Structure 1
Amino acid sequence: MRQLSELDASFLYLESETAPMHIGGIYLFDARECRKPLAFSTFVAYLRSRLHVVPLFRQRLKEIPLRLGRPYWIDDPDFSIERHLAYVNLGNHGKVDSLMELASRILEEPLKRDRPLWHITFVDGFQLDEHADSKSFALIVKLHHAAIDAFSGEEIIGKLLEYSPKARAIETPRPWHPQPEPSEERVILQTGANLLRKPLQMTSLAISAAEATARGLIQKQMRKLPLPFPLFSAPHSPFNRQITANRKIVSASLDLSRLKAIKATLGDVTLNDVVLGLCAETLSRYLDRGNATTERSLVAMTPISVRSSSLRKATGNQMSAMLLDLATTEPNPAERIRRIHWNAVESEPYREAIAADRLTELLPSTMLALSARLYSELQIAQRYQPVFNLPITNVPGPQVPLYLQGSRLVAQFNSAPLFDSMGLVIVAVSYQGSLTINFTLCPDVVADGDSLPELLEDSLKSIESAAETLPPYEEDTREYPDSHPTLTDEALNVMEGALRKTFRRFRN
């Protein structure tokens, strides 16, 4: 019986019919080196023999009455692997485009809450090339964001796959004895104990926040840097509109060595800065094509894994989040990468101090669920400037080939959930010397999404050209216009008025 963190639970509360909160993966395998293609029955037997390496595959949610606390993960005594698998044969339509269309339709459907939150579709008849006997197949995987983040999702897939082209003998599944489901009385007692600990959590969080703020202010004063921009101050963009249930996945792969060469040319930047700069240039070109440029720079939310420094649990979301100015008002695409690096360094004291899962501990589960639902139903993002324009996640993947029963993984595409006012998410995943940029979008919000791969290639060429002639780095002395009144400003004004009244009463 393991309780979800507030961050994990928030993905449950944000989920709706038009916004399923699962992470998706599309994995393409080449079986031409095998004597025969992998049969679906063999895949089921293989997966059954590997269930012990991923315990969450046999755990479901246990809700708390009246949502007095966060749900728990418990063993599912009725677990049946057949409820989590599907088989599709594309027949004569086994091309990549057909596979992506099928994946988009599958990923539109939310996972069912009465069972462990994952599902895999085995796609037969898929062709990697023009040869009908290419012996290829694909897997379409759905894992709920409440159970994993993008970084742990890659770890799970790595555990299920193999590092040798020689097919591993399928072993007899290990015996599994699920723990009995906890009684309602025990769940309520545990919830009460957690509520009693809440004041201690609030005190700990307040101390951490104070230390983070003090350290950040001191560093910024020393560096004479401007304070970070406030929340709800990102510019309105075409990406920030009400979404529908329709989904589309658009992907493009690039040679990772080209991005490393740009990093070497620019000097004091990271490979992640180059990836963010490439995404920023692509977004700028997309907005220019639609005559929808913004006067102020787009803001991205970039999740950062804290798994390496905080191994508190095997799965779930162990992330910190950083709001990052993408410097899209900078006309030089190579100089923009330097600006992005500068902005990331500016935000570093804040992102390192408090992880995202701790920031939500102040809110009881009922309030967190209510606020998440109200954010969507009242269309708060439509009435105020958004917190950020889109999430961009860069996930380092293995640089050695992976296999499934002798079939080599040749490509993978990944999707991330959309939610109210976020019609576009970018996930970049590297594998075997290649970087795949995946755009998960709502086609009713992001029109002409099929143009993004072409814009991505043009953007990379433009950055390569600009990097060769980039002058030495100079400090940014331009003045930026003040932001418009935001929801944060209004909230601070209300709190300021309440504090004045309180102080006045004490004086009286």
Structure 2
Amino acid sequence: MRQLSELDASFLYLESETTPMHIGGIYLFDAREQKSPLAYSAFVAYLRSRLHVVPVFRQCLKEIPLRLGRPYWIDDPNFSIERHLAYVNLGEQGRKDSLMTLASKILEEPLKRDRPLWHITFVDGFRLDDEDPDSQGFALIVKLHHAAIDAFSGEDIIGNLLEYSPDPRPIHAPRPWQPRPGPSEERVMLQAGANILRTPLQFTALAVNAAEATARGLVQKQLRKLPLPFPLFSAPHSPFNRQITANRQIVSTSVDLSRLKAIKATLGDVTLNDVVLGLCAEALRRYSAEQGADTERSLVAMTPISVRSNSLRRATGNQMSAMLLDLATNEPDPALRIRRIHWNAVASEPYREAIAADRLTELLPSTMLALSARLYSELQVAQRYQPAFNLPITNVPGPQVPLYLQGARLVQQYNTAPLFDSLGLVIVAVSYQGQLTINFTLCPDVVADGDSLQRHVIESLGAIEEAAQDLGPEAELDDASGSSNQTLTGDMLSVLEGVVRKALQRFRA
């Protein structure tokens, strides 16, 4: 048995019918160089032969009774690859917009918990060029649960499943595999008891009286460890921080990496990631202004940072740090904004003290995590208070060499991330073969006119290039440390203490 971390388990507890917590991918393949298109049956045989490189594909969840502990990954004794695959032929509707509409509908559906948490839809009859009926290809729509992977390990999985040569790899018989026997209920309960003894804090979900007596000290101790550069729940309200529905829309646009690298070289002491964040920030500023939103206060992003070993080539759950980053969207100069983002991300104290994200969940045991997630949504906390951050932005470096699937070249990929209540927009930027694709996953009932984000990205890139030439590498940046390095105040601790006390009183009642 391999137990989920608190962070991994939190993605299970946060999931609901309107908030599926899986990471998605849409992969477009060019089959024009093949003598015959890849048949669905051949794809199934190929995938079956590669299952051994992704062990989590054959592992399911084993829940702990009464949620006395986090679930475990165990081998699925009833594993069948057919339960994780689907086939769709677009026929005469094989255009890109039809594919994206189909993908949006598929990605709205949560994964089923009674089997390994992944699913792939093979889409046939897809044309890469809407004007060329001979531009035949196919697409894969992939769903992988966030409890099993993060965005960085997801790219590793795809890289292991695909090929680096245009010459098709022979499809061999799958390696023999027998599921290891699952644990008995008695062993699971004994393990849960042992975990409680090893981690006394887990028992506070049941010993509420003791928890109340130490609540303030625990909250203060944990919060002081967090890399928060400004007071919690101080991000401004924005057009995408409202209660979401189950509807999803995928908006993507690609830009040349060479243009971003040229901006980096022009500005001097910034990173390519700073430029990507600056491009996203300018697009968000333009979108907010177009929607009539206040742009005087800077948006705040949550940016994951992988702490995964470079030598690790298998999915092992979520291994990342996370910090809150001021996007400086109140700075009108888009080139100077990149400088400020660089300072916020690198020169500030929170960056140097960034901690592993699973420590964000250490304060509450599993039962309380599940309860707090439900209450957060049902009590509409996001609508009553300012958000902790406005949106997540993840920049995932992808391979710069072409990938293939049985001779068909991967020409484009789009990636999605889960939304959560009050977070109607999330950005995932992925680079591949000299292109950076910026993917917006959004709830169209919250983010109006989401298609305009494509235009805003293209216009923003041109504006940043022009501003960077005017600014140059020698421009001095004013000291930005005035408000970006504040710590949590005693007033916030008092508020949290009151919330904990009231919650425990209700729990007791």
Compute the TM-score of the two structures, normalised by the length of structure 2.
0.89
Q: In the TM superposition, what is the alpha-carbon distance from 1:315 to its structure 2 partner?
A: 1.8
Structure 1, residues 227-248: CA drift from partner, whole Å, max 9, x if none?
Answer: 8201111001111000000000
Aligned residue for 2:370, secondary structure, equals helix
Contact kept? 2:156, 2:314, Cα under 8 Å: no
Evaluate the alpha carbon distance shift between residue 32 and residue 243 of structure 1 in structure 2; reply closer, same or farther with a 3 A threshold.
Answer: same
Residue 255 (1) aligns with residue 276 (2): no
Determine the C-alpha separation between the residues in 2 that align with 1:377 and 1:157.
36
In the alignment, which residue of structure 2 is the partner of 1:89?
89
Q: In the TM superposition, what is the alpha-carbon distance from 1:434 to its structure 2 partner?
A: 0.3
Determine the C-alpha separation between the residues in 2 that align with 1:239 and 1:62.
36
Residue 354 (1) aligns with residue 371 (2): no
Aligned residue for 1:165, secondary structure, equals coil
Q: Which amino acid aligns with 1:119?
A: H
In the alignment, which residue of structure 2 is the partner of 1:30?
30
Q: In the TM superposition, what is the alpha-carbon distance from 1:345 to its structure 2 partner?
A: 1.8
In the alignment, which residue of structure 2 is the partner of 1:397?
398
Aligned residue for 1:107, secondary structure, equals helix
In the alignment, which residue of structure 2 is the partner of 1:281?
282
Counterpart among 480, 485, 492 of residue 494 in structure 2: 492
Q: In the TM superposition, what is the alpha-carbon distance from 1:176 to its structure 2 partner?
A: 0.5
Q: Which amino acid aligns with 1:143?
A: L
Q: Which amino acid aligns with 1:386?
A: P
Contact kept? 1:57, 1:116, Cα under 8 Å: yes
Q: In the TM superposition, what is the alpha-carbon distance from 1:377 to its structure 2 partner?
A: 1.3
User: Which region of structure 1 is more displaced relative to structure 2, 374-383 or 103-112?
Assistant: 374-383
In the alignment, which residue of structure 2 is the partner of 1:20?
20
In the alignment, which residue of structure 2 is the partner of 1:245?
246
Evaluate the alpha carbon distance shift between residue 334 and residue 47 of structure 1 in structure 2; reply closer, same or farther with a 3 A threshold.
Answer: same
Structure 1, residues 257-284: CA drift from partner, whole Å, max 9, x if none?
Answer: 0000000000000000000000000000
Evaluate the alpha carbon distance shift between residue 410 and residue 488 of structure 1 in structure 2; reply closer, same or farther with a 3 A threshold.
Answer: farther
* Counterpart mapping for 1:374-453 below 5 A: 374-453=375-454
Q: In the TM superposition, what is the alpha-carbon distance from 1:314 to its structure 2 partner?
A: 3.9
Aligned residue for 2:341, secondary structure, equals helix
In the alignment, which residue of structure 1 is the partner of 2:195?
194
* Counterpart mapping for 1:107-506 below 5 A: 107-129=107-129, 130-199=131-200, 228-308=229-309, 314-347=315-348, 349=350, 352-470=353-471, 472-476=474-478, 489-493=491-495, 495=497
Q: In the TM superposition, what is the alpha-carbon distance from 1:9 to its structure 2 partner?
A: 0.5
Aligned residue for 1:303, secondary structure, equals strand
CA RMSD of aligned residues (A): 2.8
Determine the C-alpha separation between the residues in 2 that align with 1:141 and 1:493.
42
Residue 47 (1) aligns with residue 22 (2): no
Q: Which amino acid aligns with 2:441?
A: T
Structure 1, residues 111-137: CA drift from partner, whole Å, max 9, x if none?
Answer: 000000000000000001122232300
Q: In the TM superposition, what is the alpha-carbon distance from 1:498 to its structure 2 partner?
A: 11
User: Which region of structure 1 is more displaced relative to structure 2, 333-342 or 463-472?
Assistant: 463-472
Contact kept? 2:289, 2:295, Cα under 8 Å: no
Q: Which amino acid aligns with 2:448?
A: A
Aligned residue for 1:362, secondary structure, equals coil
Determine the C-alpha separation between the residues in 2 that align with 1:312 and 1:163.
16
Evaluate the alpha carbon distance shift between residue 266 and residue 40 of structure 1 in structure 2; reply closer, same or farther with a 3 A threshold.
Answer: same
Determine the C-alpha separation between the residues in 1 that align with 2:443 and 2:490.
28
Contact kept? 1:49, 1:171, Cα under 8 Å: yes
Evaluate the alpha carbon distance shift between residue 496 and residue 421 of structure 1 in structure 2; reply closer, same or farther with a 3 A threshold.
Answer: closer
Determine the C-alpha separation between the residues in 1 that align with 2:490 and 2:400.
43
Contact kept? 1:285, 1:455, Cα under 8 Å: yes
Q: In the TM superposition, what is the alpha-carbon distance from 1:290 to its structure 2 partner?
A: 1.2
Q: Which amino acid aligns with 1:473?
A: A
The count of corresponding residues between Structure 1 and Structure 2 is: 483
Determine the C-alpha separation between the residues in 2 that align with 1:152 and 1:254.
24
Compute the TM-score of the two structures, normalised by the length of structure 1.
0.90
Determine the C-alpha separation between the residues in 1 that align with 2:186 and 2:176.
29
Contact kept? 2:345, 2:351, Cα under 8 Å: no
Q: In the TM superposition, what is the alpha-carbon distance from 1:310 to its structure 2 partner?
A: 10
Q: In the TM superposition, what is the alpha-carbon distance from 1:372 to its structure 2 partner?
A: 1.3
Determine the C-alpha separation between the residues in 1 that align with 2:11 and 2:348.
25
Determine the C-alpha separation between the residues in 2 that align with 1:43 and 1:87.
11
User: Which region of structure 1 is more displaced relative to structure 2, 285-294 or 101-110?
Assistant: 285-294
Q: Which amino acid aligns with 2:370?
A: A
Q: Which amino acid aligns with 1:14?
A: L
Contact kept? 2:427, 2:439, Cα under 8 Å: yes
Aligned residue for 1:33, secondary structure, equals coil
Evaluate the alpha carbon distance shift between residue 49 and residue 454 of structure 1 in structure 2; reply closer, same or farther with a 3 A threshold.
Answer: same
Contact kept? 1:26, 1:103, Cα under 8 Å: yes
User: Which region of structure 1 is more displaced relative to structure 2, 425-434 or 362-371?
Assistant: 362-371
Evaluate the alpha carbon distance shift between residue 80 and residue 352 of structure 1 in structure 2; reply closer, same or farther with a 3 A threshold.
Answer: farther
Aligned residue for 1:250, secondary structure, equals strand
